[in-house]
Amino acid sequence: MSVELSRRFRFEAAHRLPTLPPEHKCHRLHGHSFEVEVTVSGEVDPSTGWFVDYKIITEAVKPLIEELDHRYLNEIEGLENPTSENLAAWLWRALEQRLPGLASISVSETPRSRCVYRGGAVPRTSGGACDDDL
């Protein structure tokens, strides 16, 4: 039996999207209550009745969340343009060797918007998603 397991994490951080035009609101410094969901997939072990302990997911992700929490994301190496897309890809690169069965990373900046990344190339855009959460 194949399953997917997901674990959610939250952190607070500030960022700006420097590639957007100066008049765009997301070009200015602002913050979010980010939510990250990490999903792994694989086969259930018939002897244990599970695929992986959620603790394994938490142990792999927690140091990354601590690195991001209450930070200015633009100052973190690899996140100079910290769009949701780039943040999801950054997390993927950090986790892909540590977390067997990694299937997807979801990043939400607001309750109404999210980016889901499943590995591979990040599409090139003018500046990334910016939610006009009014």
Asked if residue 134 has pLDDT above 80, the reply is: no
Query: CA dihedral in degrees (115, 119, 121, 122; nearest 10)?
Result: 20
Q: pLDDT digits over 100-113, tens only?
A: 999 999 999 999 99
**Considering 15, 26, 85, 115, which one is annotated as catalytic?**
26
Tell me the average pLDDT of the chain: 92
pLDDT in tens, 6-44: 999 999 999 999 999 999 999 999 999 999 999 999 999
In the set 15, 32, 109, 115, the catalytic residue is 109
**Model pTM?**
0.90
70 classed as catalytic: yes
Domain covering 2-103, topology: Tetrahydropterin Synthase; Chain A (3.30.479)
- List the catalytic residue out of 70, 75, 80, 96: 70
Q: Give the contacts of 6 (CB within 8 A, at least 6 positions apart).
A: 37, 38, 39, 40
Asked if the model's pLDDT at residue 130 lies above 70, the reply is: no
Task: Say what the pLDDT of residue 120 is.
Answer: 78
**Catalytic: 26?**
yes
Tens-digit pLDDT profile for residues 61-115? 999 999 999 999 999 999 999 999 999 999 999 999 999 999 999 999 999 999 9
Residue 128 half-sphere exposure, CB side, CA atoms within 13 Å?
A: 26
